[in-house]
Every structure is written in structure tokens, then in C-alpha cells.
Structure 1
Amino acid sequence: LGRDLKVPIIVQREPSLSGYVNSKTLFVAISYSGDTSETLTAFRGAESRHASLVGVGTGGKLASLCERFRAPFLRVGSSIAPRAALSQLIVALAAVLESYNLVRSTYGDIAEAGRELAKLRSRIGSGIPVERNPAKRLASEILGHFLVVYSLQRMSSVARRFKNQLAENCKQVAKFDLLPESCHNEIEAWKTYPSHSLPLILRDTEESTFERSSIEAFRYTISRQTKARPIMFRLAMKGRLSRLVGPIFFLDYVSVYLALLMRINPTPTESIAKYKALLKAN
């Protein structure tokens, strides 16, 4: 959607707002549960600055605030976990931007992505054996490693999502960073990275000559400094939306298969529940 927008779109992850949020700002609060504390705090702050408000979620306090502030609330369906509702949240955000005439119709992109994801699922689903399942093979390849994920800025949502899925599904810490930024700093640290560290570089199907050269130089340099050979991951998808949601979908499967290889139940998130309980108590 970024290419179609004529105004900046910024992801707000903190409760405190930047000074530019004002009456000309469209503030879209997205919280699956509707009770994410930092989202609610930022939403109240945006209302105090007279921003245009929209809420997206399953209900909770966010829905109540939208009713109180007379702001529209887009309700998404319940899922087994917040991380499983990503597709609904993407569609809801697209609908909001369309309703404010900020982007063209996204129906074609969403429909195309749906068709491509269905084809992808037929290749990586649980019933497909390891020898014909690239997601299962990748899970086996990264088993036992500390994963360091790199991507270009436009693919950073995929890298962040994979890092988070490894944490929630596999209960495993990973990290991600950006290229070519890491070529100017973190590349030096691979001389002393722990031996079980494994770099995974997320590639885009459309890269400039400079981007390709930068990534290859980074891969070559760190491969000479670590015993682990960097994994280059690229998933061929056609549409602009598919180029993001396709790799996310694929790597979601990888995280679940990795959890199963580790004999971990990927569903419960007990530490997150404990954190929220402590936060609420305080």
C-alpha cells in the first residue's frame, strides 16, 4: 500500500505519541484483543489531539473507547490466537484506508494473494512429506541454531514477524536486523558470534543492482567469518501484497514445524499471560 499513499504511514508501537499527531492525522488503532495497554494509551492521546480515529479488533476496551469517542470500530472474527488473525487485520486496515480514499481498491491484490496462498499451502501443508515440503526442510535446517534474520527495509515486516513467531511458537529467542545497514556495523560482530548462530537472509523477488550486490557482499563476508553458511531465503510470488504475505505464511509454517521438532506445544503463551496479569495488577 505504501506505493499508493500520498501521505506518510507510520507504525506506532509505543504509548507516547510524536508531536506531529494532530487534527489532520488519521489514527488507526489495531489490537486483536482490544485490550493492549500501549494501544489504548496512544488511542486516548490521539483523541485528545483531535485526530480522526478508527479502531480494529475483536472488542475489548478499544471497542468501548470507539463508542465513547464516536469513532468507527471494525470488528474482526475470533481466532485461535492473535498471531493467527494477521490476514483479517490486513484486510481491515486496507478497508480503512480505502474508506478514506487514501489508496485505490485493494480487492484485486487481496484476491490474488488468497489464490497464491492456497497454492502455497498445497506445497507446505502438514500432510506433505519432508522430502517434498520446503517449509519442513527449512525447519530441520535451523533446528538447534540461534537465528539472526536479515532483510531489506521493505521486507522488515516479514523478518520481524518470523522473529516473533519463533518466540511465541518455539519459545526461542532470535533477532532481526536490516540490510544494508548491518553492512556498516553488525557485519564486524560475526567474527565473535556464538558458534551455533545462523544467519538467514530474506530476499525480495525484485531487487535493484545495488541491493543484490550489497546482499551478496554481506553474505560472502560473514560466511568467511563463521562456520555456519548463511541461508538465502526467497519465495517467488506474483503480486505486491503476495510478496509480503507469502513469505510470512511460509515462515509461519516453518516456526510451527520447528516447534514440533523441538517437542514444544506452539499454542500456549504463558509468559505473555503472566506479563499482562502483572501489568494489569499494577
Structure 2
Amino acid sequence: MSPVEVDPGRLDDAEALAAADPADLLRCVASAAAQVREARLYTAEAGVERIAQGGRPRAIVVVGTSGSGFAGEMLAAVCGEGCRVPITTVRGHRLPGWAGAADLVIAVSGPGGTEETLTAAVEAVRRGCRLLCVGAAGSPLADIAVQAGMPFVPVRAAGPERAMLWGLTVPLLLAARALGLTDVTAEVLERTAGVLEDVSHQCRPASESFVNPAKQVALELAGSVPVIWGTSPMTGAAAHRFASRLAADAACPAVHGELPAAWHDQAALFDGPFGAGSGGSGGSAEEDFFRDRVDEPEPTRLSLVLLHDVEEHPQVTRRREIAAEFARDRAVPVVELTTRGTHPLERLAGLIAHIDYISVYLALAVGVDPSATIREPEERTP
């Protein structure tokens, strides 16, 4: 018996899906396009272009935890490796020691009250940094921005913070545009919203598993420990997002990385006990034939997920192909997801949307309530 009980039929049963998803996370994932359009309006109303006064900053520090931290990674991925200003994401209380008046700090918190983000935002004001705040209206983070006379972009809650990615990210992208660091225009944002709508249509709950790409991948990954490798900085950020959502939605552990470094650091996994478990017992064929396996649980196996960027480096393409062959030779299942589109934001959006649907469907397929991890553990005083 497998340690994870998978019920493929649940994914095609509308009533079962609704009962297993009490927080309606599938609806939250489907709100991505609306988040893009709404955030664009809120950002314009907030006058975010004010942060460009005084010229281009020396560096940008994005402060945020959970889904808010991913907004920083999304910004860096879209601006690209050639960005003229370094972009750093901080997920703790402290700003880098070098951050000062020449730098821009963007404090992001979906609920607007995350302790780490508030502490860093106050520190940014104390150091004289330029500051942009993004979070819930009427929150402590909004108060900090008002008191400091800095721009604040309100974000409407669309479920748990991890489901608010686009509402949190678009203000950062438009701020970068105001600074001349990216070409995310209104037209690009609308095309991106269209991509998100297309994925939502393909992956909608009413679409049956045999034609629904997210349900198919969820069932392929169920019961395994995914090793998720991106093939560029953009898809490397998506790999991190995937691993985090699998943990939060489906309580599923995963390993993530970016090729080519991930190959050197993690390829040994496929020759280890979890990799061997994918292909059999590790004994001889004769021993395996005569072993009574009725009462033996199936070992936990690995799966390899390759997030293929159409603009990856040619040498990385070769490494990706070798990695897929290497895994298949060891009977490790391989799933490949490919970006589509011309603009980096469109490519990233399609991939992230697919990933978010997969993680929720995986939770539902294995009987995990994806809303169970929404509430963060209460802090304990020492």
C-alpha cells in the first residue's frame, strides 16, 4: 500500500472538490487575472511614480515573507540579469548593512501587519531610504508609509497571502518601470492577464483530468517527492514558488534548484535510496521476483520536474536533456513544463499559474485540505 492514498476520481467530482476545498483556493488561483488589472489601477491611484524622484536608486531591497517575498523574486526575474540596479529580497527583520539613503526599500505584506516587514520598513525610514509600501489598506504598514510621506499601494485580499501574488507583484513591476528598469507597459499587463485567463480556462475544475494539464501533472506527482529544477533565473524563481506552494497547499516536501548548479548539487539524489525506491528494491531480479510484497509499503520515490524556459542558455538546454535522460534511466518519472510567450512577464505568468493550480489539485487528490495551512502558528513567548 502506498503511504499516500490518491483518489483521482475526486478531481473530476465537482461536489467532492468543493467539499475538499473549504477555503475555495481554486477560486483564489483563478483570480490572478483580476488581481493584475486591479493592482494596475491601485498603483496608478497611489502615484507610485513618485519614487523615481531623485533618480535611479543604487539598489532595490524588497522586504517580505511568504507570498510577499516571492513578489521580490518575480520583480528580479522580470527585470532580468541585465538589470542596471541590483534587486535583493529580504525575508527577515533586518535590512542589509549597506542599505541607505541611495537605495529603495519596497516593503510588501499582504495583510499589512507582518512583524518582519514592519520592522524592516521602520528601519528603512530611520536610515533615510526611499520607501514604497504594498499591503492591506488601513494596516500598520499603511500607517508607516503615511507617517513617512511615502507611497502606499493598497491590496485587496484574495485569500491567503500565497494566493495574492499578482496583486502584490504588479505594483513592484510598475515601480520598476517608473525607474526605467523594465518595459512592463499597460499593454504587457493586459496580455499577461489574458495569459492567466487562458490557463484558468484550461485548468478550471470542470475540465476533466484527461484534458486538464494541471490535474494531469498533479496525479503524476502524487505520492512522490518532486525535485524541481528551473533552467534560467526566471524558471529558477518559479521552481522555488512551486516547492513552497506544494508545502503550503499539499503538505508535500520538495527540493528545488536551478540548472546548471542544481545538477552538481542534487543529481546524487537519483542514485540514493529515494531514487532507487522509484525503480525497485535495489536487489537482484530473482530476489525481487520471489519477494512477498503484499504487506510491504511502496517506498517513497522521487520525481523530476523540469521548468523549461524557451530562452534558456544553449548549454543549459543540453544539461536539461541529460538530466531528463539520467532520471528516466533510473525509473524516476520526469515532468517537463515549458514557458510560452515573448515578454518575460507573460512567460512567467503562464508558468506560475500552471504551478499554482497543480499544487492545489495535488492537495485535493491526496486528501489534504489546502486551507489547513493558511493560519500561521501562533507566536510563543519564550
Q: TM-score, normalised by structure 1?
A: 0.90
- Could you tell me which of 323, 332, 337 is aligned with 1:233? 337
Task: Point out the more displaced range, 211-220 or 136-145.
Answer: 211-220
Name the residue aligned to 1:206: 311
1:105: Cα distance to partner? 4.8
Name the residue aligned to 1:115: 194
1:188: Cα distance to partner? 2.4
- Of structures 1 and 2, the one with the larger relative CO (CA 8 A, separation 6+) is 2
Name the residue aligned to 1:64: 143
- Residue 98 in 1 paired to residue 138 in 2? no
One-letter code aligned to 2:116: E
Task: Point out the more displaced range, 255-264 or 96-105.
Answer: 96-105
- Could you tell me which of 188, 193, 202 is aligned with 2:268? 188
- Structure 2 alignment gaps of length 5 or more: 1-77, 278-300
- Could you tell me which of 255, 261, 279 is aligned with 1:175? 255
Q: Which runs of 4+ in 1 moved over 4 A?
A: none
| Structure with greater Cα Rg | 2
Name the residue aligned to 1:35: 113
1:212: Cα distance to partner? 0.6
Equivalent residues in 2 for 1:130-149 (5 A)? 130-149=209-228
Cα displacement string for residues 263-282 of structure 1 (whole angstroms, at most 9, x for unaligned residues):
22212326x522xx215x45
How big is the alpha-carbon RMSD for the aligned residues of Structure 1 and Structure 2? 2.0
Task: Point out the more displaced range, 247-256 or 185-194.
Answer: 185-194
One-letter code aligned to 2:197: A
Equivalent residues in 2 for 1:154-165 (5 A)? 154-165=234-245
Name the residue aligned to 2:321: 216
1:88: Cα distance to partner? 1.0
Distance 1:93 1:163 in 2: 23
Assess if the C-alpha contact under 8 Å between 2:305 and 2:337 holds in 1. yes
1:208: Cα distance to partner? 2.7
- Residue 243 in 1 paired to residue 321 in 2? no
Distance 1:33 1:141 in 2: 34
Distance 1:266 1:135 in 2: 16
Distance 2:326 2:368 in 1: 35
- Residue 84 in 1 paired to residue 163 in 2? yes
1:210: Cα distance to partner? 1.0
SS in 1 for 2:257: strand
SS in 2 for 1:88: helix
SS in 2 for 1:220: helix
Name the residue aligned to 2:379: 278
Name the residue aligned to 1:260: 364
Distance 2:179 2:317 in 1: 37
Distance 2:173 2:347 in 1: 16
Give the number of aligned pairs: 277
Of all paired residues, the percent bearing the same amino acid is 26
Assess if the C-alpha contact under 8 Å between 1:109 and 1:240 holds in 2. no
One-letter code aligned to 1:126: P
Distance 2:302 2:264 in 1: 20
